[in-house]
């Protein structure tokens, strides 16, 4: 059985696709900004994500939508740490399945990650791939917790200003390989590194589609892969309403589920989504189909 060894002695099996539910404790995230900024609402939403089938709840105190500005560590800590502590306590006292749900901290700053881990988070999700604050790699090594390393061209404030690549798939794969090696040099175990191609982070629609069509090349690096396409704008440009208008982010559930199913077939291990229940179903059906066709390939890194 392939597993992630989480902080605080927890484990998370990778023998089937995992669903990571998004919990933005921010006023300005692109799809759900402000909905869960108050602690009670955030905890309630985290419990709802778990009840709908999330394996991980990803808590973030800083929006990384295109054009967003960076948030200081002190403000991120204020937004997330107390809430994580309460959510962890509630998950641990709800039922057996909820006790197995992990909490990840979505941040690029080691100070925020350290305090979140102290409050009950057990893995780190870093959209900068350890570039914003290299100390986050040493922290993951010291805490013996997994870390997600994502590809992003530029930074959130400017990443969608005419991003260009000679070969987007080759460049993203090379970048992820380099960041994984940097993490290993900082002491992170290879088995604890998760790679994310960064759909929508410094990419045009064409770049995103090329990466989705080549997810197997990311999986071929032989690290667990995380895919985050949930409600993203590039899909809205494809899925026009009957009147020709672009759908609202909340209306892109079907589009997101399509990428989840494709991701399962391409070897993706973890899917970061807003809408847990439908994506849980999409992942489970795709996984069952994959197992029926090739029973020998039913590990998450096939």
User: CA-to-CA distance for 293 and 286, rounded, in angstroms?
Assistant: 11
Q: With bands split at pLDDT 50, 70 and 90, how would you rate the model's confidence at 240?
A: confident
- DSSP per-residue codes, 163-216: ---SSHHHHHHHHHHHHHHHHHHTT--GGGEEEE--TTSS--HHHHHHHHHTHH
Give the pLDDT mean for 176-200: 98
Residue 127 has pLDDT above 80, yes or no: yes
| Weakest-pLDDT range from 3-7, 27-31, 81-85, 155-159 | 27-31
Average pLDDT over the chain reads 91
User: CA-to-CA distance for 220 and 214, rounded, in angstroms?
Assistant: 10
Q: Tell me which DSSP letter residue 66 carries.
A: T
Looking at residue 168, its pLDDT comes to 97
User: CA-to-CA distance for 231 and 119, rounded, in angstroms?
Assistant: 29
Looking at residue 160, its pLDDT comes to 74
* Domains with residue ranges and CATH for the chain: 16-293 (3.20.20.20)
User: CA-to-CA distance for 120 and 86, rounded, in angstroms?
Assistant: 9
State the residue for tokens 């400017």: 158
Residues belonging to the active site: 232, 272
Residue 154 has pLDDT above 90, yes or no: no
Residue 35 has pLDDT above 80, yes or no: no
Residue predicted with more confidence, 242 or 168:
168
Looking at residue 146, its pLDDT comes to 98
77: helix, coil or strand? Answer: helix
Tokens encoding 91: 């998950």
């Amino acid at each position: 059985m392939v597993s992630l060894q989480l902080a605080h002695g927890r484990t998370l099996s990778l023998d089937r696709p995992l669903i990571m539910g998004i919990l933005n404790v921010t006023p300005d995230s692109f799809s759900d900004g402000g909905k869960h900024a108050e602690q009670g609402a955030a905890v309630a939403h985290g419990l709802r994500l778990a009840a709908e089938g999330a394996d991980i709840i990803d808590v973030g105190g800083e929006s990384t939508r295109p054009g967003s500005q960076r948030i200081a560590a002190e403000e991120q800590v204020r937004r997330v740490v107390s809430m994580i502590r309460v959510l962890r306590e509630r998950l641990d006292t709800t039922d057996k399945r909820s006790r197995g749900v992990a909490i990840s901290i979505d941040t690029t700053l080691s100070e925020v990650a350290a305090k979140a881990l102290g409050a009950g988070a057990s893995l780190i999700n870093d959209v900068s791939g350890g570039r914003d604050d290299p100390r986050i790699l040493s922290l993951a090594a010291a805490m013996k917790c997994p870390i997600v390393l994502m590809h992003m061209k530029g930074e959130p404030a400017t990443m969608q200003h005419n991003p260009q690549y000679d070969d987007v798939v080759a460049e993203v794969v090379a970048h992820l390989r380099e960041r994984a090696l940097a993490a290993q040099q900082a002491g992170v175990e290879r088995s604890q590194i998760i790679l994310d191609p960064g759909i929508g982070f410094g990419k045009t629609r064409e770049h995103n589609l090329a990466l989705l069509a080549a997810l197997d090349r990311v999986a071929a690096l032989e690290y667990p892969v995380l895919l985050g396409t949930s409600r993203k704008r590039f899909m809205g440009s494809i899925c026009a309403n009957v009147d020709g208008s672009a759908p609202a982010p909340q209306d892109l559930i079907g589009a997101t589920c399509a990428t989840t199913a494709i991701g399962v077939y391409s070897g993706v291990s973890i899917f970061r989504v807003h809408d847990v229940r439908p994506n849980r179903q999409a992942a489970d059906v795709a996984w069952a189909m994959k197992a029926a066709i090739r029973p020998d390939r039913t590990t998450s890194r096939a």
